[in-house]
Structure 1
Amino acid sequence: MDQIEFFDIPSPCKRVCVTDKQGYCIACYRSREERFSWLTLSDSQKQKVLRLCKQRALKRRYLLSKQQRQQQDLNPVTPQFDLNF
């Protein structure tokens, strides 16, 4: 049984509408189908899409931080010594 929603579930759209390689918006993390059908989805379907978007955002942040760590490992920063005595 679905929980009754008293308020409309707002769209997560950030008005960017640029997709990544996987076809997800880089701002709201929805697929093309999820974006186009948002107004016709039921509240439970919208909540499912929002959960998926949150998972996609967390995965993207994880992959970006992993990529940054790998780049730092490849290009280690060598400390500069102060030559002022």
Structure 2
Amino acid sequence: MQQLEIFQIESPCIGVCQAGPRGYCLGCYRSREERLHWVKLEDEVKSKIVKACALRKKRAFARKRSQDPLSVDTPTQGSLLD
């Protein structure tokens, strides 16, 4: 049984609004069509889009990490003497 959404699904926009090489926003990972029609969509569709965006983001970071393992979220330790 699926849980009913009680609250309105908020837009995942973080204000970056720049398309990447695959056509998805580099901030929220929505397609142009998903961004354009967001306000008109049913909450069930919005929920599916948000889940798809999370998967797209995960895949994008995995691709980037596989290309350059040191470029993504790798903290660097500074010297105590600097």
The structure whose residues are more often helix, as a share, is 1
Specify the alignment match of 1:57 in structure 2: 57
In structure 2, list runs of 5 or more residues that go unmatched: 70-82
Find the residue that maps to 1:45 and give its secondary structure.
helix
Find the residue that maps to 1:21 and give its secondary structure.
coil
Mapping of 1:10-29 within 5 angstroms? 10-29=10-29
Q: Distance in 1 between matches of 2:67 and 2:48?
A: 29
Q: Distance in 2 between matches of 1:36 and 1:21?
A: 18
Q: What is the RMSD of the two structures over their aligned residues, measured on CA atoms?
A: 1.8
Q: Is the 8 A contact 1:29 1:57 kept in 2?
A: yes
Distance 1:40 1:3, change over 3 A: farther
Specify the alignment match of 2:6 in structure 1: 6
Q: Distance in 1 between matches of 2:37 and 2:2?
A: 20
Q: Distance in 1 between matches of 2:4 and 2:13?
A: 23
Q: How far 1:55 sits from its partner (Å)?
A: 0.8
Q: How far 1:2 sits from its partner (Å)?
A: 6.8
How many positions carry a matched residue from both structures? 70
Higher-Rg structure is: 1
- TM-score, length basis structure 2: 0.77
